[in-house]
Amino acid sequence: MLIYSSEYLQSAITKLGISVEQFKELFKTIGTIYVIYVDKDLAGFFWIERREEVLHIHALIIKSEFQGRGLGKKILQLIQDQYSSGAKILELGVHLSNHRAINLYQNSGFVKVKEFDDIGFIVMQKRLHG
């Protein structure tokens, strides 16, 4: 699945100042990765990590042929419903150039809490009830 998002990931890895090997190790050891299928077709994946009262979404990547079908919105709701027990905040980062994702996150209740102008990246959070 990483090949479907390779340009974005390579940009993120460069901005983080780590090697591809270091990223692969993080990917294998930090948090949990879930694969998304539509029927029997691989549609994407999401990667989440619990950080005390914050559930951080490292990645939500949907293959282009599955975008625009409401799948991202459904996955965000699934993450909130199934994986956020005890968390007070859902958090994620997104590149400023990814307008479609930013709109999805804003429409799902996320707000910008931090911006990194030098790398064109923002952190967004959504407060959870309970």
Span 47-61, pLDDT tens digits: 899 988 999 998 898
Reply yes or no on whether the pLDDT at 127 is more than 90.
yes
Cα separation, 120 vs 100, in Å, equals 15
Sorted by sequence, the CB contacts under 8 Å of residue 119 that are 6+ apart come out as 15
Write down the pTM of the prediction. Answer: 0.80
Q: Would you kindly state where each structural domain of the chain is located, as residue ranges?
A: 2-127
What are the pLDDT digits (tens) for 15-65?
667 677 776 676 666 788 889 999 999 998 888 999 889 999 988 988 889
What is the CATH topology of the domain spanning 2-127?
Aminopeptidase (3.40.630)
CB 33 within 8 A of CB 24: no
